[in-house]
Structure 1
Protein backbone atom coordinates (compact mmCIF):
# COMPACT_ATOMS: atom_id res chain seq x y z
CA UNK A 1 0.00 0.00 0.00
CA UNK A 2 1.60 3.24 -1.15
CA UNK A 3 -0.49 5.62 0.97
CA UNK A 4 -1.24 4.69 4.56
CA UNK A 5 -3.36 6.69 6.99
CA UNK A 6 -1.45 6.67 10.24
CA UNK A 7 -3.58 8.92 12.44
CA UNK A 8 -6.40 11.41 12.49
CA UNK A 9 -3.93 13.97 11.15
CA UNK A 10 -3.72 11.96 7.91
CA UNK A 11 0.01 11.38 7.96
CA UNK A 12 0.76 10.12 4.47
CA UNK A 13 3.45 7.86 3.14
CA UNK A 14 4.96 9.76 0.19
CA UNK A 15 4.75 8.51 -3.35
CA UNK A 16 7.79 10.62 -4.15
CA UNK A 17 10.89 11.89 -2.38
CA UNK A 18 13.06 14.74 -3.61
CA UNK A 19 16.87 14.70 -3.62
CA UNK A 20 18.22 18.17 -2.91
CA UNK A 21 21.63 17.55 -4.42
CA UNK A 22 24.25 19.60 -2.58
CA UNK A 23 22.50 22.13 -0.31
CA UNK A 24 23.70 25.69 -0.74
CA UNK A 25 25.53 24.91 -3.98
CA UNK A 26 22.59 24.47 -6.34
CA UNK A 27 23.82 27.24 -8.62
CA UNK A 28 27.14 25.43 -9.03
CA UNK A 29 25.64 22.02 -9.84
CA UNK A 30 26.75 22.19 -13.48
CA UNK A 31 30.38 22.76 -12.49
CA UNK A 32 30.23 20.17 -9.72
CA UNK A 33 28.92 17.65 -12.24
CA UNK A 34 32.15 17.77 -14.27
CA UNK A 35 34.36 15.81 -11.81
CA UNK A 36 31.39 13.54 -11.02
CA UNK A 37 30.96 12.75 -14.71
CA UNK A 38 34.69 12.16 -15.15
CA UNK A 39 34.80 9.79 -12.16
CA UNK A 40 31.74 7.95 -13.48
CA UNK A 41 33.54 7.44 -16.80
CA UNK A 42 36.64 6.17 -14.99
CA UNK A 43 34.57 3.82 -12.82
CA UNK A 44 32.62 2.24 -15.67
CA UNK A 45 35.59 2.00 -18.04
CA UNK A 46 38.19 0.87 -15.52
CA UNK A 47 36.06 -1.72 -13.75
CA UNK A 48 34.69 -2.97 -17.06
CA UNK A 49 38.24 -3.56 -18.32
CA UNK A 50 39.26 -5.36 -15.11
CA UNK A 51 36.21 -7.63 -15.27
CA UNK A 52 36.92 -8.40 -18.93
CA UNK A 53 40.57 -9.22 -18.26
CA UNK A 54 39.93 -11.44 -15.24
CA UNK A 55 37.21 -13.29 -17.14
CA UNK A 56 39.11 -13.87 -20.40
CA UNK A 57 42.76 -14.22 -19.32
CA UNK A 58 43.58 -17.65 -17.88
CA UNK A 59 46.72 -16.40 -16.13
CA UNK A 60 44.51 -14.20 -13.93
CA UNK A 61 42.35 -17.09 -12.71
CA UNK A 62 43.84 -16.95 -9.21
CA UNK A 63 42.30 -16.15 -5.80
CA UNK A 64 43.76 -12.65 -5.73
CA UNK A 65 42.21 -11.75 -9.08
CA UNK A 66 38.92 -13.47 -8.25
CA UNK A 67 38.57 -11.10 -5.29
CA UNK A 68 39.67 -8.20 -7.50
CA UNK A 69 36.92 -9.12 -9.98
CA UNK A 70 34.42 -9.12 -7.12
CA UNK A 71 35.66 -5.69 -6.07
CA UNK A 72 35.27 -4.40 -9.64
CA UNK A 73 31.74 -5.78 -9.90
CA UNK A 74 30.73 -4.21 -6.57
CA UNK A 75 32.23 -0.86 -7.60
CA UNK A 76 30.42 -1.03 -10.93
CA UNK A 77 27.04 -1.66 -9.25
CA UNK A 78 27.62 1.18 -6.76
CA UNK A 79 28.42 3.56 -9.62
CA UNK A 80 25.47 2.55 -11.81
CA UNK A 81 22.98 2.69 -8.92
CA UNK A 82 23.91 6.21 -7.80
CA UNK A 83 25.88 8.28 -10.33
CA UNK A 84 23.27 8.49 -13.14
CA UNK A 85 20.70 9.96 -10.74
CA UNK A 86 23.29 12.37 -9.31
CA UNK A 87 24.12 13.62 -12.80
CA UNK A 88 20.41 13.98 -13.62
CA UNK A 89 20.05 16.21 -10.55
CA UNK A 90 23.06 18.33 -11.53
CA UNK A 91 22.17 18.63 -15.22
CA UNK A 92 18.37 18.63 -15.38
CA UNK A 93 17.28 19.42 -11.81
CA UNK A 94 15.56 16.00 -11.84
CA UNK A 95 15.26 15.82 -8.06
CA UNK A 96 12.13 13.66 -7.85
CA UNK A 97 12.56 9.95 -7.10
CA UNK A 98 9.73 7.52 -6.40
CA UNK A 99 9.63 6.05 -2.91
CA UNK A 100 10.13 2.53 -4.27
CA UNK A 101 13.15 3.61 -6.34
CA UNK A 102 14.52 5.46 -3.32
CA UNK A 103 14.29 2.40 -1.06
CA UNK A 104 15.76 0.18 -3.80
CA UNK A 105 18.69 2.57 -4.21
CA UNK A 106 19.10 2.61 -0.43
CA UNK A 107 19.41 -1.17 -0.42
CA UNK A 108 21.95 -1.23 -3.26
CA UNK A 109 24.10 1.49 -1.69
CA UNK A 110 24.32 -0.12 1.73
CA UNK A 111 24.37 -3.78 0.64
CA UNK A 112 27.15 -3.29 -1.89
CA UNK A 113 29.11 -1.02 0.45
CA UNK A 114 29.04 -3.85 3.01
CA UNK A 115 30.08 -6.28 0.26
CA UNK A 116 33.01 -4.04 -0.69
CA UNK A 117 34.18 -4.02 2.91
CA UNK A 118 33.91 -7.82 2.95
CA UNK A 119 35.92 -8.11 -0.27
CA UNK A 120 38.69 -5.98 1.24
CA UNK A 121 38.77 -8.39 4.20
CA UNK A 122 39.03 -11.33 1.80
CA UNK A 123 41.88 -9.62 -0.05
CA UNK A 124 43.68 -9.03 3.26
CA UNK A 125 43.31 -12.74 4.02
CA UNK A 126 44.73 -13.55 0.59
CA UNK A 127 47.81 -11.38 1.22
CA UNK A 128 48.20 -12.80 4.73
CA UNK A 129 48.35 -16.39 3.47
CA UNK A 130 50.47 -15.52 0.41
CA UNK A 131 53.18 -13.78 2.47
CA UNK A 132 53.06 -15.58 5.83
CA UNK A 133 52.46 -19.13 4.58
CA UNK A 134 53.29 -19.20 0.84
CA UNK A 135 53.96 -22.95 0.62
CA UNK A 136 50.44 -23.76 1.80
CA UNK A 137 48.76 -21.01 -0.25
CA UNK A 138 47.43 -23.35 -2.99
CA UNK A 139 46.02 -25.80 -0.44
CA UNK A 140 44.45 -23.17 1.82
CA UNK A 141 42.86 -20.89 -0.78
CA UNK A 142 41.52 -23.56 -3.11
CA UNK A 143 38.92 -22.61 -5.75
CA UNK A 144 36.16 -24.08 -3.56
CA UNK A 145 37.28 -22.08 -0.52
CA UNK A 146 37.56 -18.88 -2.57
CA UNK A 147 34.02 -19.30 -3.95
CA UNK A 148 32.70 -19.95 -0.44
CA UNK A 149 34.39 -16.79 0.83
CA UNK A 150 32.85 -14.82 -2.03
CA UNK A 151 29.42 -16.28 -1.25
CA UNK A 152 29.75 -15.37 2.42
CA UNK A 153 30.67 -11.80 1.49
CA UNK A 154 27.52 -11.47 -0.65
CA UNK A 155 25.21 -13.11 1.91
CA UNK A 156 26.55 -10.98 4.74
CA UNK A 157 26.11 -7.77 2.76
CA UNK A 158 22.53 -8.60 1.80
CA UNK A 159 21.56 -10.06 5.17
CA UNK A 160 22.78 -7.10 7.21
CA UNK A 161 21.28 -4.35 5.07
CA UNK A 162 18.05 -5.76 3.66
CA UNK A 163 16.27 -4.45 6.77
CA UNK A 164 17.24 -0.83 6.06
CA UNK A 165 14.54 -0.12 3.45
CA UNK A 166 11.89 -2.15 5.28
CA UNK A 167 12.53 -0.33 8.57
CA UNK A 168 12.48 3.05 6.82
CA UNK A 169 9.32 2.11 4.90
CA UNK A 170 7.28 1.56 8.07
CA UNK A 171 7.87 5.11 9.34
CA UNK A 172 5.41 8.00 8.89
CA UNK A 173 6.63 10.92 6.77
CA UNK A 174 4.39 13.84 7.59
CA UNK A 175 6.77 16.76 7.02
CA UNK A 176 9.26 17.55 4.30
CA UNK A 177 9.95 14.88 1.70
CA UNK A 178 13.21 16.49 0.55
CA UNK A 179 16.33 14.43 1.25
CA UNK A 180 19.27 16.78 1.66
CA UNK A 181 21.58 14.38 -0.20
CA UNK A 182 22.47 13.30 -3.72
CA UNK A 183 21.19 9.76 -3.12
CA UNK A 184 18.87 7.89 -0.74
CA UNK A 185 21.15 7.37 2.22
CA UNK A 186 19.39 5.43 4.99
CA UNK A 187 19.79 7.85 7.88
CA UNK A 188 19.12 10.89 5.69
CA UNK A 189 15.73 9.36 4.81
CA UNK A 190 15.00 8.32 8.39
CA UNK A 191 15.60 11.88 9.60
CA UNK A 192 12.56 12.97 7.56
CA UNK A 193 10.27 10.70 9.56
CA UNK A 194 7.99 12.12 12.24
CA UNK A 195 7.65 8.83 14.16
CA UNK A 196 9.94 6.99 16.56
CA UNK A 197 13.23 6.18 14.85
CA UNK A 198 15.15 4.62 17.75
CA UNK A 199 15.08 1.14 16.19
CA UNK A 200 16.42 2.45 12.87
CA UNK A 201 19.16 4.43 14.57
CA UNK A 202 20.28 1.56 16.77
CA UNK A 203 20.23 -1.02 13.97
CA UNK A 204 22.14 1.25 11.57
CA UNK A 205 24.72 2.00 14.26
CA UNK A 206 25.10 -1.71 15.09
CA UNK A 207 25.64 -2.60 11.41
CA UNK A 208 28.18 0.21 11.01
CA UNK A 209 30.11 -1.03 14.05
CA UNK A 210 29.93 -4.70 13.03
CA UNK A 211 30.97 -4.13 9.42
CA UNK A 212 33.25 -1.12 9.73
CA UNK A 213 35.03 -1.74 13.01
CA UNK A 214 35.03 -5.54 12.71
CA UNK A 215 36.41 -5.57 9.17
CA UNK A 216 39.03 -2.90 9.87
CA UNK A 217 40.15 -4.81 12.98
CA UNK A 218 40.70 -7.97 10.92
CA UNK A 219 42.56 -6.03 8.21
CA UNK A 220 44.81 -4.40 10.80
CA UNK A 221 45.49 -7.79 12.40
CA UNK A 222 46.36 -9.24 8.99
CA UNK A 223 48.83 -6.50 8.21
CA UNK A 224 50.34 -6.70 11.68
CA UNK A 225 51.09 -10.37 11.00
CA UNK A 226 52.39 -9.50 7.53
CA UNK A 227 54.74 -6.85 8.93
CA UNK A 228 56.02 -9.27 11.58
CA UNK A 229 56.78 -11.81 8.85
CA UNK A 230 58.30 -9.38 6.34
CA UNK A 231 60.80 -7.85 8.78
CA UNK A 232 62.35 -11.30 9.19
CA UNK A 233 62.90 -11.78 5.45
CA UNK A 234 66.63 -12.25 4.77
CA UNK A 235 67.08 -9.66 2.01
CA UNK A 236 65.87 -6.08 1.43
CA UNK A 237 64.77 -7.12 -2.06
CA UNK A 238 62.42 -9.75 -0.67
CA UNK A 239 60.99 -7.26 1.84
CA UNK A 240 60.47 -4.68 -0.90
CA UNK A 241 58.72 -7.22 -3.14
CA UNK A 242 56.38 -8.28 -0.33
CA UNK A 243 55.57 -4.66 0.44
CA UNK A 244 54.89 -3.92 -3.22
CA UNK A 245 52.33 -6.73 -3.47
CA UNK A 246 50.37 -5.14 -0.60
CA UNK A 247 50.60 -1.50 -1.68
CA UNK A 248 47.61 -1.54 -4.05
CA UNK A 249 45.41 -3.14 -1.39
CA UNK A 250 46.50 -0.56 1.20
CA UNK A 251 45.62 2.31 -1.16
CA UNK A 252 42.18 0.83 -1.86
CA UNK A 253 41.57 0.41 1.88
CA UNK A 254 42.36 4.10 2.40
CA UNK A 255 40.08 5.21 -0.45
CA UNK A 256 37.16 3.17 0.92
CA UNK A 257 37.37 3.50 4.71
CA UNK A 258 38.69 7.09 4.89
CA UNK A 259 35.68 8.96 3.42
CA UNK A 260 33.38 6.20 4.68
CA UNK A 261 34.20 6.63 8.36
CA UNK A 262 34.14 10.42 8.15
CA UNK A 263 30.76 10.28 6.42
CA UNK A 264 29.29 7.91 9.01
CA UNK A 265 30.56 9.99 11.94
CA UNK A 266 29.23 13.23 10.48
CA UNK A 267 25.88 11.66 9.58
CA UNK A 268 25.34 9.99 12.97
CA UNK A 269 26.76 12.67 15.27
CA UNK A 270 26.74 15.87 13.23
CA UNK A 271 24.06 18.60 13.14
CA UNK A 272 20.54 17.46 12.14
CA UNK A 273 20.58 19.40 8.85
CA UNK A 274 23.05 18.07 6.27
CA UNK A 275 25.60 20.65 5.19
CA UNK A 276 27.29 20.86 1.80
CA UNK A 277 30.48 19.42 3.29
CA UNK A 278 28.67 16.36 4.65
CA UNK A 279 26.89 15.72 1.36
CA UNK A 280 30.05 16.11 -0.71
CA UNK A 281 31.93 13.76 1.62
CA UNK A 282 29.14 11.17 1.45
CA UNK A 283 29.14 11.43 -2.35
CA UNK A 284 32.92 11.04 -2.52
CA UNK A 285 32.54 7.88 -0.45
CA UNK A 286 30.63 6.41 -3.41
CA UNK A 287 32.80 8.07 -6.08
CA UNK A 288 36.39 7.53 -5.03
CA UNK A 289 36.64 3.73 -4.71
CA UNK A 290 34.95 2.83 -8.04
CA UNK A 291 36.95 5.47 -9.95
CA UNK A 292 40.37 4.97 -8.37
CA UNK A 293 40.50 1.24 -7.56
CA UNK A 294 41.03 0.12 -11.20
CA UNK A 295 43.75 2.74 -11.67
CA UNK A 296 45.58 1.65 -8.52
CA UNK A 297 45.49 -2.03 -9.44
CA UNK A 298 46.34 -1.27 -13.06
CA UNK A 299 49.44 0.67 -12.02
CA UNK A 300 50.61 -1.54 -9.14
CA UNK A 301 49.83 -5.04 -10.45
CA UNK A 302 52.26 -6.34 -13.06
CA UNK A 303 49.94 -9.01 -14.50
CA UNK A 304 47.18 -6.50 -15.16
CA UNK A 305 49.57 -3.96 -16.68
CA UNK A 306 50.88 -6.60 -19.06
CA UNK A 307 47.37 -7.56 -20.18
CA UNK A 308 46.34 -3.94 -20.70
CA UNK A 309 49.48 -3.25 -22.76
CA UNK A 310 48.78 -6.39 -24.77
CA UNK A 311 45.36 -4.99 -25.68
CA UNK A 312 46.62 -1.47 -26.44
CA UNK A 313 49.77 -2.52 -28.31
CA UNK A 314 49.02 -2.76 -32.05
CA UNK A 315 49.60 -6.17 -33.57
CA UNK A 316 52.35 -6.41 -36.14
CA UNK A 317 51.30 -7.58 -39.56
CA UNK A 318 53.61 -10.06 -41.21
CA UNK A 319 54.28 -8.71 -44.75
CA UNK A 320 54.71 -12.23 -46.07
Structure 2
Protein backbone atom coordinates (compact mmCIF):
# COMPACT_ATOMS: atom_id res chain seq x y z
CA UNK A 1 0.00 0.00 0.00
CA UNK A 2 1.36 3.42 -0.94
CA UNK A 3 1.67 6.26 1.56
CA UNK A 4 1.99 10.02 1.71
CA UNK A 5 5.72 9.81 0.94
CA UNK A 6 5.02 8.21 -2.45
CA UNK A 7 2.44 10.89 -3.29
CA UNK A 8 4.91 13.64 -2.37
CA UNK A 9 7.59 11.97 -4.50
CA UNK A 10 5.12 11.78 -7.37
CA UNK A 11 4.47 15.50 -7.06
CA UNK A 12 8.17 16.20 -7.48
CA UNK A 13 8.44 13.77 -10.40
CA UNK A 14 5.55 15.24 -12.39
CA UNK A 15 6.29 18.90 -11.66
CA UNK A 16 6.84 20.82 -14.88
CA UNK A 17 4.64 18.44 -16.85
CA UNK A 18 1.19 18.73 -15.27
CA UNK A 19 -0.67 21.88 -14.25
CA UNK A 20 -1.82 22.79 -10.76
CA UNK A 21 -5.50 23.09 -11.58
CA UNK A 22 -7.77 25.85 -10.24
CA UNK A 23 -10.42 25.81 -7.55
CA UNK A 24 -13.75 27.25 -8.73
CA UNK A 25 -16.45 28.45 -6.33
CA UNK A 26 -20.13 28.01 -7.13
CA UNK A 27 -22.53 30.33 -5.34
CA UNK A 28 -25.57 28.50 -6.70
CA UNK A 29 -24.35 25.04 -5.71
CA UNK A 30 -23.54 26.48 -2.31
CA UNK A 31 -27.06 27.86 -1.97
CA UNK A 32 -28.65 24.60 -3.12
CA UNK A 33 -26.67 22.41 -0.72
CA UNK A 34 -26.27 24.71 2.30
CA UNK A 35 -22.48 24.42 2.07
CA UNK A 36 -19.62 26.36 0.55
CA UNK A 37 -19.07 24.34 -2.62
CA UNK A 38 -15.91 24.38 -4.72
CA UNK A 39 -14.90 22.47 -7.86
CA UNK A 40 -11.36 21.16 -8.34
CA UNK A 41 -10.88 21.81 -12.05
CA UNK A 42 -9.12 18.77 -13.48
CA UNK A 43 -11.19 19.33 -16.63
CA UNK A 44 -8.67 22.04 -17.57
CA UNK A 45 -5.67 19.81 -16.88
CA UNK A 46 -3.33 18.88 -19.75
CA UNK A 47 -5.02 16.29 -21.99
CA UNK A 48 -8.31 17.32 -20.34
CA UNK A 49 -8.30 15.06 -17.29
CA UNK A 50 -6.52 14.01 -14.08
CA UNK A 51 -5.15 10.91 -15.80
CA UNK A 52 -2.02 12.75 -16.96
CA UNK A 53 -0.83 12.87 -13.34
CA UNK A 54 -0.62 9.12 -12.85
CA UNK A 55 0.52 8.42 -16.40
CA UNK A 56 3.37 10.93 -16.07
CA UNK A 57 4.48 9.49 -12.74
CA UNK A 58 4.51 5.94 -14.11
CA UNK A 59 6.02 6.59 -17.53
CA UNK A 60 8.76 8.84 -16.16
CA UNK A 61 9.70 6.09 -13.73
CA UNK A 62 9.88 3.33 -16.36
CA UNK A 63 11.96 5.56 -18.63
CA UNK A 64 14.30 6.18 -15.70
CA UNK A 65 14.52 2.40 -15.36
CA UNK A 66 15.69 2.18 -18.98
CA UNK A 67 12.45 1.27 -20.79
CA UNK A 68 12.00 2.64 -24.30
CA UNK A 69 8.46 1.67 -25.33
CA UNK A 70 5.04 1.73 -23.63
CA UNK A 71 1.53 0.53 -24.37
CA UNK A 72 -1.91 1.21 -22.93
CA UNK A 73 -5.44 -0.01 -23.55
CA UNK A 74 -7.87 2.90 -23.60
CA UNK A 75 -9.90 4.95 -26.03
CA UNK A 76 -10.29 7.72 -23.50
CA UNK A 77 -8.45 9.83 -20.97
CA UNK A 78 -5.83 7.25 -19.97
CA UNK A 79 -4.88 6.55 -23.58
CA UNK A 80 -4.50 10.24 -24.30
CA UNK A 81 -2.41 10.74 -21.16
CA UNK A 82 -0.01 7.90 -21.93
CA UNK A 83 0.33 9.06 -25.54
CA UNK A 84 1.05 12.63 -24.39
CA UNK A 85 3.76 11.82 -21.86
CA UNK A 86 5.41 9.20 -24.08
CA UNK A 87 5.66 11.79 -26.86
CA UNK A 88 6.96 14.36 -24.37
CA UNK A 89 9.69 11.97 -23.25
CA UNK A 90 10.53 10.92 -26.80
CA UNK A 91 9.60 7.24 -26.64
CA UNK A 92 7.12 5.39 -28.88
CA UNK A 93 3.74 4.32 -27.58
CA UNK A 94 0.94 2.13 -28.86
CA UNK A 95 -2.59 2.68 -27.61
CA UNK A 96 -5.05 -0.19 -28.13
CA UNK A 97 -8.56 1.17 -28.66
CA UNK A 98 -11.95 -0.49 -29.24
CA UNK A 99 -13.75 -0.84 -32.52
CA UNK A 100 -15.97 2.21 -32.99
CA UNK A 101 -14.04 4.47 -30.62
CA UNK A 102 -15.12 8.12 -30.68
CA UNK A 103 -13.32 9.89 -33.50
CA UNK A 104 -12.45 12.94 -31.39
CA UNK A 105 -10.66 10.74 -28.86
CA UNK A 106 -8.84 8.80 -31.56
CA UNK A 107 -7.70 12.06 -33.13
CA UNK A 108 -6.44 13.30 -29.76
CA UNK A 109 -4.33 10.16 -29.28
CA UNK A 110 -3.01 10.44 -32.82
CA UNK A 111 -2.11 14.10 -32.26
CA UNK A 112 0.37 12.95 -29.62
CA UNK A 113 2.04 10.74 -32.26
CA UNK A 114 1.12 7.40 -30.68
CA UNK A 115 0.49 4.33 -32.78
CA UNK A 116 -3.12 3.15 -32.65
CA UNK A 117 -4.31 -0.43 -32.83
CA UNK A 118 -7.98 -1.42 -32.83
CA UNK A 119 -9.01 -4.52 -30.91
CA UNK A 120 -12.50 -5.74 -30.03
CA UNK A 121 -15.13 -3.80 -28.14
CA UNK A 122 -14.40 -4.60 -24.48
CA UNK A 123 -11.54 -4.01 -22.05
CA UNK A 124 -11.25 -7.80 -21.66
CA UNK A 125 -10.11 -7.84 -25.29
CA UNK A 126 -7.98 -4.69 -25.30
CA UNK A 127 -5.94 -5.24 -22.15
CA UNK A 128 -4.40 -8.59 -23.15
CA UNK A 129 -3.48 -7.18 -26.56
CA UNK A 130 -1.76 -4.13 -25.04
CA UNK A 131 0.14 -6.43 -22.66
CA UNK A 132 1.08 -8.71 -25.53
CA UNK A 133 2.43 -5.80 -27.59
CA UNK A 134 4.53 -4.63 -24.66
CA UNK A 135 6.01 -8.11 -24.28
CA UNK A 136 6.67 -8.53 -28.00
CA UNK A 137 8.55 -5.24 -28.22
CA UNK A 138 10.32 -5.42 -24.84
CA UNK A 139 8.26 -2.55 -23.51
CA UNK A 140 6.02 -1.82 -20.55
CA UNK A 141 2.24 -1.90 -20.29
CA UNK A 142 0.89 1.14 -18.41
CA UNK A 143 -2.25 0.19 -16.45
CA UNK A 144 -5.08 2.72 -16.04
CA UNK A 145 -5.42 2.62 -12.25
CA UNK A 146 -4.22 -0.49 -10.41
CA UNK A 147 -0.58 0.48 -9.95
CA UNK A 148 1.26 2.23 -7.09
CA UNK A 149 2.86 4.86 -9.36
CA UNK A 150 -0.48 5.61 -11.03
CA UNK A 151 -2.22 5.92 -7.66
CA UNK A 152 0.51 8.15 -6.23
CA UNK A 153 0.32 10.45 -9.26
CA UNK A 154 -3.46 10.81 -8.93
CA UNK A 155 -2.98 11.51 -5.23
CA UNK A 156 -1.37 14.84 -6.06
CA UNK A 157 -4.90 16.14 -6.65
CA UNK A 158 -5.49 15.67 -2.91
CA UNK A 159 -2.31 17.52 -1.95
CA UNK A 160 -3.38 20.51 -4.03
CA UNK A 161 -6.88 20.58 -2.51
CA UNK A 162 -5.49 20.66 1.04
CA UNK A 163 -3.28 23.62 0.09
CA UNK A 164 -5.83 25.51 -2.00
CA UNK A 165 -8.93 25.31 0.22
CA UNK A 166 -8.10 26.32 3.76
CA UNK A 167 -9.96 24.24 6.37
CA UNK A 168 -11.68 22.04 3.79
CA UNK A 169 -14.22 19.74 5.46
CA UNK A 170 -15.39 17.34 2.73
CA UNK A 171 -13.90 16.14 -0.56
CA UNK A 172 -16.17 14.35 -3.06
CA UNK A 173 -14.52 12.10 -5.63
CA UNK A 174 -15.80 10.02 -8.59
CA UNK A 175 -14.98 6.30 -8.42
CA UNK A 176 -14.18 4.10 -11.42
CA UNK A 177 -11.36 1.60 -11.00
CA UNK A 178 -10.23 3.45 -7.91
CA UNK A 179 -6.96 5.09 -8.93
CA UNK A 180 -8.15 8.63 -8.28
CA UNK A 181 -10.06 7.96 -5.07
CA UNK A 182 -7.29 5.81 -3.54
CA UNK A 183 -4.66 8.43 -4.36
CA UNK A 184 -6.75 11.28 -2.99
CA UNK A 185 -7.57 9.26 0.12
CA UNK A 186 -3.91 8.58 0.77
CA UNK A 187 -2.91 12.21 0.34
CA UNK A 188 -5.72 13.67 2.43
CA UNK A 189 -6.11 11.11 5.21
CA UNK A 190 -2.36 10.98 5.84
CA UNK A 191 -2.17 14.78 5.86
CA UNK A 192 -5.36 15.66 7.73
CA UNK A 193 -7.48 12.67 8.85
CA UNK A 194 -10.34 14.94 9.95
CA UNK A 195 -11.21 15.78 6.34
CA UNK A 196 -14.12 13.60 5.21
CA UNK A 197 -13.70 11.91 1.81
CA UNK A 198 -16.82 10.66 0.03
CA UNK A 199 -16.80 8.56 -3.12
CA UNK A 200 -19.51 8.62 -5.78
CA UNK A 201 -20.53 5.96 -8.30
CA UNK A 202 -23.38 5.71 -10.82
CA UNK A 203 -26.22 3.54 -9.59
CA UNK A 204 -25.76 1.28 -12.62
CA UNK A 205 -21.98 0.93 -12.14
CA UNK A 206 -21.80 0.28 -8.41
CA UNK A 207 -18.99 -2.29 -8.21
CA UNK A 208 -17.08 -0.51 -5.43
CA UNK A 209 -20.28 0.07 -3.47
CA UNK A 210 -21.09 -3.65 -3.60
CA UNK A 211 -17.48 -4.59 -2.84
CA UNK A 212 -17.46 -2.45 0.30
CA UNK A 213 -20.83 -3.81 1.34
CA UNK A 214 -19.63 -7.42 0.97
CA UNK A 215 -16.10 -6.84 2.22
CA UNK A 216 -14.49 -8.29 -0.89
CA UNK A 217 -13.90 -7.33 -4.51
CA UNK A 218 -17.17 -7.86 -6.37
CA UNK A 219 -17.78 -7.67 -10.11
CA UNK A 220 -20.79 -6.24 -11.91
CA UNK A 221 -22.08 -6.83 -15.42
CA UNK A 222 -21.09 -4.48 -18.23
CA UNK A 223 -22.93 -1.18 -17.96
CA UNK A 224 -23.95 1.55 -20.37
CA UNK A 225 -23.81 4.39 -17.85
CA UNK A 226 -23.37 7.79 -19.44
CA UNK A 227 -20.32 8.19 -17.18
CA UNK A 228 -18.15 6.17 -19.55
CA UNK A 229 -14.97 6.77 -17.54
CA UNK A 230 -16.55 4.88 -14.61
CA UNK A 231 -17.53 1.74 -16.50
CA UNK A 232 -15.16 -0.59 -14.67
CA UNK A 233 -16.47 -4.04 -13.73
CA UNK A 234 -14.68 -4.21 -10.36
CA UNK A 235 -12.26 -2.28 -8.14
CA UNK A 236 -8.53 -2.90 -8.47
CA UNK A 237 -6.56 -5.28 -6.27
CA UNK A 238 -4.22 -2.43 -5.28
CA UNK A 239 -6.82 0.32 -5.01
CA UNK A 240 -9.54 -1.52 -3.08
CA UNK A 241 -7.64 -2.03 0.21
CA UNK A 242 -6.90 1.71 0.31
CA UNK A 243 -10.57 2.49 -0.23
CA UNK A 244 -11.52 0.01 2.50
CA UNK A 245 -9.07 1.58 4.92
CA UNK A 246 -9.81 5.26 4.44
CA UNK A 247 -13.11 5.99 2.67
CA UNK A 248 -15.71 7.65 4.90
CA UNK A 249 -18.75 7.01 2.70
CA UNK A 250 -19.81 6.01 -0.79
CA UNK A 251 -23.00 7.33 -2.39
CA UNK A 252 -24.78 6.54 -5.64
CA UNK A 253 -26.33 8.85 -8.25
CA UNK A 254 -28.78 8.14 -11.06
CA UNK A 255 -28.24 8.70 -14.78
CA UNK A 256 -30.74 11.56 -14.72
CA UNK A 257 -28.90 13.19 -11.83
CA UNK A 258 -25.58 12.90 -13.65
CA UNK A 259 -26.97 14.52 -16.78
CA UNK A 260 -28.64 17.31 -14.76
CA UNK A 261 -25.41 18.07 -12.91
CA UNK A 262 -23.43 18.16 -16.14
CA UNK A 263 -25.99 20.53 -17.68
CA UNK A 264 -26.00 22.71 -14.54
CA UNK A 265 -22.23 23.20 -14.60
CA UNK A 266 -22.27 24.02 -18.31
CA UNK A 267 -25.21 26.41 -18.12
CA UNK A 268 -24.49 28.17 -14.82
CA UNK A 269 -20.71 27.96 -14.48
CA UNK A 270 -19.82 27.96 -18.20
CA UNK A 271 -17.56 24.92 -17.71
CA UNK A 272 -17.55 21.88 -20.00
CA UNK A 273 -17.22 18.74 -17.89
CA UNK A 274 -17.65 15.08 -18.77
CA UNK A 275 -20.32 12.85 -17.21
CA UNK A 276 -17.75 11.02 -15.06
CA UNK A 277 -16.92 14.37 -13.44
CA UNK A 278 -20.57 15.26 -13.00
CA UNK A 279 -21.22 12.41 -10.55
CA UNK A 280 -19.45 14.36 -7.79
CA UNK A 281 -21.49 17.49 -8.51
CA UNK A 282 -24.69 15.43 -8.68
CA UNK A 283 -24.04 14.03 -5.21
CA UNK A 284 -23.94 17.57 -3.82
CA UNK A 285 -26.86 18.89 -5.91
CA UNK A 286 -29.19 16.09 -4.91
CA UNK A 287 -28.47 15.98 -1.20
CA UNK A 288 -26.48 12.75 -1.15
CA UNK A 289 -23.78 14.43 0.95
CA UNK A 290 -24.90 14.74 4.56
CA UNK A 291 -23.21 18.03 5.42
CA UNK A 292 -24.31 21.53 6.32
CA UNK A 293 -22.30 24.75 6.54
CA UNK A 294 -19.15 22.92 5.46
CA UNK A 295 -16.46 23.59 2.87
CA UNK A 296 -17.04 20.94 0.21
CA UNK A 297 -14.76 20.30 -2.77
CA UNK A 298 -16.02 18.25 -5.73
CA UNK A 299 -13.23 16.77 -7.84
CA UNK A 300 -14.15 17.48 -11.46
CA UNK A 301 -12.06 14.72 -12.96
CA UNK A 302 -12.17 15.61 -16.65
CA UNK A 303 -13.69 17.58 -19.48
CA UNK A 304 -13.27 15.40 -22.56
CA UNK A 305 -16.68 15.25 -24.17
CA UNK A 306 -17.77 14.76 -27.76
CA UNK A 307 -19.40 18.15 -28.34
CA UNK A 308 -21.24 16.76 -31.35
CA UNK A 309 -23.18 14.43 -29.06
CA UNK A 310 -24.13 16.91 -26.35
CA UNK A 311 -27.60 17.25 -27.84
CA UNK A 312 -28.17 13.53 -27.31
CA UNK A 313 -26.85 13.73 -23.75
CA UNK A 314 -29.33 16.42 -22.77
CA UNK A 315 -32.23 15.19 -24.89
CA UNK A 316 -35.42 14.82 -22.81
CA UNK A 317 -33.66 16.12 -19.70
CA UNK A 318 -36.31 17.05 -17.14
TM-score under structure 1 length normalisation:
0.27
Q: Which has the higher strand share?
A: 2
Q: Which has the higher helix share?
A: 1
In terms of Rg, which structure is larger?
Answer: 1
